[in-house]
Every structure is written in C-alpha cells, then in structure tokens.
Amino acid sequence: MTTTIFRTDQEFFLDPQRCIGCHACEMACAECETNGQLPMIHVDYVDRFLSPQTSVQVCMHCEDPACARVCPAVAIEKDEFGVVHSANTARCIACSNCVNACPFGVPRKIEPMDLMMKCNMCYDRTSAGKRPMCATVCPSGALFYGTREEMSRKRPQSTPVNTFRFGKETVKTRVNIMMPKGATELVVEA
Amino acid sequence: MTTPLPPRTPAEVDFPIERTEAEHVTRREFAKFLCLVSGGMAVGSGWVAVKDKIFPPFTFEGERFVCKVDDVAVGATHPFQLEGSKIPFILIRLTDGTFRAYEQKCTHLACAVYYSPDKNKIECPCHHGYFDANTGNVLAGPPPRPLPHLEVVIRGGDVYVREPEEKAS
C-alpha cells in the first residue's frame, strides 16, 4: 500500500459563472506529462452565438461513478479518497462506454492513443498535498480547491452543492458546484 | 422520485470499482489460499515419497559392455545409455589414459555436463558448476552432490561398467 498525504479536509469547488474563458486551466492541465500533455479540463461555450459566457468542467468524481460502473474492463477505479481515476492504460479497451455514460461529459476518447482519458483531480499533485493545476492558475475563482471554511468565508452568498438531478436520476459527487445560498441540489433536468 | 443505480451484478461484486475493495484480501480468502498451498505441498511431498517406493532408482546386476578401449581417444568422451534406463552416461578418458564413467545429469538442475580435458574437470555450462574428473566430487558452483558414477572395468580391450561397490553392497 502506497502512503499518500492526500488532504481529506480540502475539496474542489466549481463556480462556472465566474469562468471568463481564459483557458489558463487548460494550459496548466496540459503542462502535465502524466496526461500526455493534453488538457483534461473542458472549457465549454454556453451559447457562442448569443454570449461569450463559458463554463468549465472538471471530473465531478461521483460517489457512484457511472463511468466505472459501465466499464467492461474495470479500468476505472475509485480510491479511498473518492477520486475516480482515469482509465488504467493496461486495461482500457477504448470502447467509449464511459464517454456515453458520464452525465457531465467528462471522459473523452483520445483517438491517437486509443484510450479514454479524463481528469483525475491531479492525483499526482493532490496525493502529495498540493492543489490541482487548474485550481492554482484560475484567475477568477471559477476553480477553487481548499477547505469548506475558506470557501464559505470567500463566498458568503453561495452554498456548495454536490447533488445533481437528471430527471429521475440523482447523482452525488465529490466535487461541489457553487449555487445561490440555500440551494440543496442542482436540477439539470426536472 | 429518484431511482438508484441497479444493484450490483455478481461480476461487479467480483471485480469492484472501489480500489480499497479490489485490493482487500479477506481473512477467509487468505485462509483458503493458505490451506490450498500447504495442502498442495503436503500432497506433493507424499507423492515424492510414494513414487520413490513404487519406482525405485535404476540399478543393474553384473557388468555391461560399453565400447572398445580404442573407440575413445585420450581426453575424449563417449556418451552411452544402459539397457533398461534412459539415464544418459558419459565415459571419459582422462588425460592420464584412465577411464571414468559418470551420469551426464548435473546434480543441480540436470543440465548435461561435459568433460574439458585441458582443465581436467567436468563442467556444467548452465550455472558454472565444476566436478573433479577423477572422483566426481563438486569443486565449485551450485551442485549439491557429487556426480553419480559407475565403476569402469577394462578387460581385453573392451570397456565394461558395473555398479560401484559401496552402492551394490
């Protein structure tokens, strides 16, 4: 068993409204060679025709990860800290089941490598007590990694929410999304 | 209301996605493994003992003809087998002209040994084991026992072998 100094008191807080679309997180993510110098974070344009608003998406690290549940090769594993790891390269058969299953659209099949790759919350950094790359570079606070107390001090008008409702399906995640104060869940589709 | 994901299938129980669960070895699994391995070892040792009783090691009575003295040059080797066994033997003519007969199987891992006349040693190339060509005793390397030998008898230009006396008696 490898020993880590993963800070279990720290959490990821995502605030897509604060995203300014600078792509710094993508650049920082792609600096890392453990993911083949490809960005594992997605900056999406909400409606590019109408507005410059962007939204940022990291892996939400679901409590019951659909990507891992549908993997026929058990290539995706969740560890004791709740981090859902990227596909084990020795096991991944590039079937894209996880790509279709993820409710947040996080895993992507990387064609040249014939491999699924996704955000693993910079496990190489977080397991050494450091913050994920994207959270260290975000200039607008759309990506924040720290303790819950720090977050409530910084955003007194917001509540971190980690429950998502997709129709009849409820997904609980390890990563939080910032919602107006008092919110308990994010209803994506009623 | 909410519908949770369907219950886990037997395959999902066997191959869990939780890393801690996948790496966990239960007390029962460990006990099973221990019993299987130690049981296998016990049965294996029993089989070795029984096999030794059922199939005793090869021995023979009297003398067996191998070849003519002139067939083997000084420093040369003559391989042979005895009727009734598949054990490979070598007859070697030492540099002083005398004959020796040994089993060709190294006592370490049964590689084929050969006689090198310039060193006057029997050598096993697999792990560099050396045997004394005169006695068959281990000089160097991993072999645990001397090479089994046969006694060589020369009678009228013919070479015969027989069981060594300490073994025959």
Residue A155 has pLDDT above 60, yes or no: yes
Task: Identify the H or E element spanning B67.
Answer: strand B63-68
Model-level ipTM above the cut of 0.90: no
What pLDDT, on a 0 to 100 scale, did the predictor assign at position B59? 85
- The span from the CA of A102 to the CA of A81, in Å, is 20
The answer to whether B19 contacts A169, with C-beta atoms less than 8 Å apart, is: no
Pick the CATH number of A10-64+121-189 from 3.40.47.10, 3.90.330.10, 3.90.76.10, 3.30.70.20: 3.30.70.20
pLDDT band at residue A49 under the 50/70/90 scheme: very high
What pLDDT, on a 0 to 100 scale, did the predictor assign at position B169? 45
- Select from A44, A59, A43, A55 the least CA-distant residue to A16: A55
Q: Hey, is the C-beta of A168 within 8 angstroms of any chain B C-beta?
A: yes
Mean pLDDT of A3-12: 89
What pLDDT, on a 0 to 100 scale, did the predictor assign at position B2? 55
The answer to whether B3 contacts A168, with C-beta atoms less than 8 Å apart, is: yes
| Residue B29 identity (one-letter amino acid) | E
What pLDDT, on a 0 to 100 scale, did the predictor assign at position B150? 92
Q: Where are the domains of chain B?
A: 10-54, 63-168
Q: Hey, is the C-beta of B22 within 8 angstroms of any chain A C-beta?
A: yes
Neighbours of B52 (CB within 10 A): 10
Mean pLDDT of A16-30: 94
- The span from the CA of A44 to the CA of A108, in Å, is 14
Q: Hey, is the C-beta of A66 within 8 angstroms of any chain B C-beta?
A: yes
Q: Hey, is the C-beta of B18 within 8 angstroms of any chain A C-beta?
A: yes
Closest chain B C-alpha to A168 CA, distance in angstroms: 5
- The span from the CA of A188 to the CA of A182, in Å, is 17
Could you tell me the fold of the domain covering B63-168?
Rieske Iron-sulfur Protein (2.102.10)
What pLDDT, on a 0 to 100 scale, did the predictor assign at position B8? 80
Residue A58 has pLDDT above 70, yes or no: yes
Q: Is the Cβ–Cβ distance between B99 and B159 less than 8 Å?
A: yes
* Sign of the alpha-carbon dihedral angle for A119, A125, A131, A133: negative
- The span from the CA of A179 to the CA of A165, in Å, is 14
State the Cα torsion A71-B4-A174-A13 to the nearest 10°.
120
- Select from A77, A53, A57 the least CA-distant residue to A67: A77
Residue A179 has pLDDT above 60, yes or no: yes
Mutation for testing the B interface, residue in A64, A70, A74 having most B CBs under 10 Å: A74
Neighbours of B132 (CB within 10 A): 15
pLDDT digits (tens, 9 = 90+) for A95-148: 999 999 999 999 999 999 899 999 999 999 999 999 999 999 999 999 999 999
Closest chain A C-alpha to B7 CA, distance in angstroms: 11
